[in-house]
Amino acid sequence: MNFPLIPLEQFQTFLLGLSRVAALIAAMPVFGSLQVPERVKAGLAVCVALLLAPLLSPLTPSHELSVPALVLTLVNEVLLGLLIGLTARLIFTAVEMGGTVIGYQMGFAAANVFDPQTQQQLSLVTQFQNLFAMMAFLALDGHHIFLRLIVESYQRLPPGPPAFGGETSEMLLHFTQHMFVLGIKFSAPILAILLLSNTVLGIMARVFPQLNVFLLSFPINIGVSLIVIALTLDLTLLLLRREFDELGARILGLLSTL
């Protein structure tokens, strides 16, 4: 049985598409998690690259690239895919940072458990916040944003050597700054309540010196924090929705600097 041979130009187009898509999937939230099997990631990357191949045909070189030029272009495509995925991951880094601060302040600093997604020891609150953000990402169709971003990234930036410049670095620094601000927003309500709770406990310690405030503070702070976390889940979801809605525009703005 004779199998039809794939023209080298078409295989080159598929390879260029696969490199950017595979790097993006490996770095993007949820699907880039260590809990997702590597075969699933590879299969998803191949399927998306095959679907994109007709779109990429007019955007890629019509002639065969030399081996050094092809390798350089593939490396650039991988770096670009990682840049898009890691930029989106900053939102989840902010969620993790906020959960870590909350867990430390409410008394869960010593109650860390192993997180298979990050291969790190994280507090229970941090793990809960991460899982909540992942469910919100899927429920709000955040993965659809990446499918649209893949297509628009090729339309705005065809395969080739991108020009990383000072404007790109400034925008990445701005995204990092926004990550810290977002982490503070996630933890601000609980930190405010804990500050009020500790102030009340301090006053009680002055009024009732015989009261063991240190032992009393742990169950009070933990209980109050859990109640506030439950009451502010709607606000957290609204904040995540706004960030996911603005994610596409931010990444496209980043690509426009290349």
pLDDT at residue 163, rounded to an integer? 61
Kindly calculate the radius of gyration of the chain based on its CA atoms and give it in whole angstroms. Answer: 24
pLDDT of residue 7: 65
Let me know if residue 1 belongs to a domain: no
Identify whether 159 is part of a domain.
Answer: yes
Report if residue 126 sits inside a domain.
Answer: yes
**Does residue 3 fall inside a structural domain?**
no
| 180 within a domain of the structure (yes/no) | yes
Within a domain: 2? no
Q: Which pLDDT belongs to residue 4?
A: 57
Domain holding 75, by residue range, is 8-255
The number of beta carbons lying within 10 Å of the beta carbon of residue 139 is 11
**Residue whose C-alpha is closest to residue 146's, from 87, 74, 93, 95:** 87
Closest CA to 146 of 239, 48, 74, 60: 48
In DSSP notation, 65-128 reads PPHHHHHHHHHHHHHHHHHHHHHHHHHHHHHHHHHHHHHHHHT-TT-EEEETTTTEEEEHHHHH
CA distance 223 to 140: 30
Query: Into how many domains does the chain fold?
Result: 1
Q: Which residues of the chain have pLDDT under 50?
A: 1, 3
CB 18, CB 49: distance < 8 Å: yes
CA-nearest of 76, 79, 88 to 28 is: 88
Q: What per-residue confidence (pLDDT) applies to 16?
A: 82
Q: What is the pLDDT of residue 8?
A: 67
Helix (H) or strand (E) segment spanning residue 34: none
Query: For residue 156, is it within any domain?
Result: yes
Residue 40, Cα to own-chain centre: how many angstroms? Answer: 19
Q: pTM of this prediction?
A: 0.81
Q: What is the pLDDT of residues 117-146, one digit of tens each?
A: 556 667 788 888 888 998 888 888 888 888
Q: Determine the straight-line distance between the first and last CA of the chain, rounded to whole angstroms.
A: 47
pLDDT for residue 1: 46
Residue 2: partners with Cβ closer than 8 Å, 6 or more residues away: none
pLDDT tens-digit readout, 143-162: 888 888 888 888 888 777 66
